[in-house]
Amino acid sequence: MSRFALKPLAAIAAATSAVFMALTPAPAQAVTTSGVLTYTAAALPSCLAYRVEGICFFLRCKLLVCWIETSIKISHYVPDVVVSTYNDPLRHPWTDLGAPVATAVGAAGSTIMGRLLDSSAGGLDTTSAMTNYKSADAIGNPATMLASMATGGMPSMPTTLPIPGTTELAKFTNQELPNIGRQWTQVPQEVMNTVASDSKKMLEAPGQLLAGLQTIMKSIDGVRQVIEIAEVVEQVQGGMEAFEKVGSMLSDLSGGSMLFCPGGSSPFYLHYQSELDAPFWRGVLPLEMLYPQSWVPGLGEVGSGYTQTWGPTYPRTGELIQSHPVKTSAVLSERVASILYKSAQPHVYTKVEPSDNGQVYFGGGGHMWQMLHPSPATNCLTFGTNDSLSLTTFGDGKTDPADGYSWNLWKRYICCQRRGAFLFSIP
């Protein structure tokens, strides 16, 4: 990290931690919106990872005169969304927002499926704790407003949440299906003829699957629902003065020279809810089985190799064979993340992507996780660490009696401020 970034960051970290201590988190048995804000701020020094990457070059013209302008290329992590996994909507780990949203969307999911959706039963209450099924959602972290304030803005706070539609799902046939076919060309023929023979048949004759897709899309489009969150927003509005102080500090401490990349989410934005995605998350319409990663061991694992993994990312459904409840939540959260940042996935969701806000974005950003519930962490990590030879395993001492978990997804963004027509960057 350059000296340009280090000094402001140290001061900003201390300032934000002090200011956010005014927002008192909920007890350990639950996480509330104020707790999400507090724990996110506490992890800022560890998770932000601000770096100066290089320089961007732009062409600007006025009348008949053109010249070159530059801006700094930077990277850092943004707390885009809070991903939660749970058994029962009424026992959602994010109590004041996740629970009412999950309950409301559950009714919409029942309408789409044409039957009442039961609570997803976990393995903790049974003697066979190997197979776990969980519901999941992804909601915009209200702390994303920090990056907006750093660039001189203040995002508007919603009072209602529209449920995700079929915009991305409608692209699946034309965009993703050909991509899946290209992925199969990288799989050895002997594997296709044995392990993945059923998937090959579906891919060669997908008519029945796609007909079912059209039927489900019509059902989803027929559901129009808006979720009221005015009361939750009022709680955040009470802490807006603290946010404004932080925004002022970000500007003053950087002397106007420290840039930030706004993330792809907005406060409280509902990007994913598995009850609304029930036809696919519950495997009723098995489009996930078209992917080679769903059939071939070692592809898309949360971990490395064949045996040192916590579980597969594909198929991206709510069922997983994993005996440890915290690892189960981690793998399912990775499945949600793999949906959110891609286009044309066979799910009902709203893609997380930055808007055209005066920045030029570059690819190559990964993500990290921070536990918010039941044991709030002040650092970020990646899932899949090989702990097979360790005396303890990931998540020991952090299990929740209700089997509900919430994680902050910190997404890495690389950007530079737009100063005209983009030419190139170094590096």
pLDDT tens-digit series, residues 197-220: 666 677 666 677 777 788 888 887
Which residues are CB-neighbours of 264 under 8 A, at least 6 positions away? 80, 341, 351, 352, 353, 354, 355, 411, 413
Is it the case that residue 11 has pLDDT exceeding 60? no
Respond yes or no on whether the N-terminal peptide bond of residue 401 is cis (omega within 30° of 0). no
Helix H, strand E, coil C: the string for 149-186 is: HHCCCCCCCCCEEECCCCCCHHHHHHHHHHHHHHHHCC
Q: Which of 313, 322, 321, 319 is nearest to 393 (CA)?
A: 322
How much is the pLDDT for 144? 80
How much is the pLDDT for 117? 72
Query: In degrees rounded to 5, what are phi and psi of residue 344?
Result: 60, 30
Q: What is the largest CA-CA distance in the chain?
A: 77
Is it the case that residue 121 has pLDDT exceeding 80? no
Is it the case that residue 27 has pLDDT exceeding 50? no
Is it the case that residue 124 has pLDDT exceeding 90? no
Q: How many CA atoms lie within 13 A of 49 on its CB side?
A: 19
Q: Tokens at residue 118, please?
A: 């039961």
Average pLDDT, rounded, for the chain: 81
Q: Per residue in 220-249, is it b (16+ CB within 10 Å) or e — as a string? A: beebeeebebeebbebbeebeebbebbbeb
Identify the weakest region by mean pLDDT among 100-109, 215-224, 264-273, 378-387. 215-224
Identify the weakest region by mean pLDDT among 25-34, 248-257, 311-320. 248-257
How much is the pLDDT for 238? 54
Q: Which of 105, 82, 69, 102 is nearest to 31 (CA)?
A: 82
CA distance 91 to 98: 9
Cα dihedral 372, 139, 415, 262 in deg (nearest 10): -90
Highest mean pLDDT among 261-275, 286-300, 335-349: 335-349
What mean pLDDT comes out for the span 243-252?
56
Write the burial class of residue 366 (CB in 10 Å: 0-12 exposed, 13-18 middle, 19+ buried): exposed
CA distance 275 to 223: 13
CA distance 140 to 152: 20
Residue 376 per-residue DSSP state: -
The fraction of the chain above a pLDDT of 90, given in percent, is 40
Is it the case that residue 224 has pLDDT exceeding 90? no
Write the burial class of residue 389 (CB in 10 Å: 0-12 exposed, 13-18 middle, 19+ buried): exposed
How much is the pLDDT for 26? 41
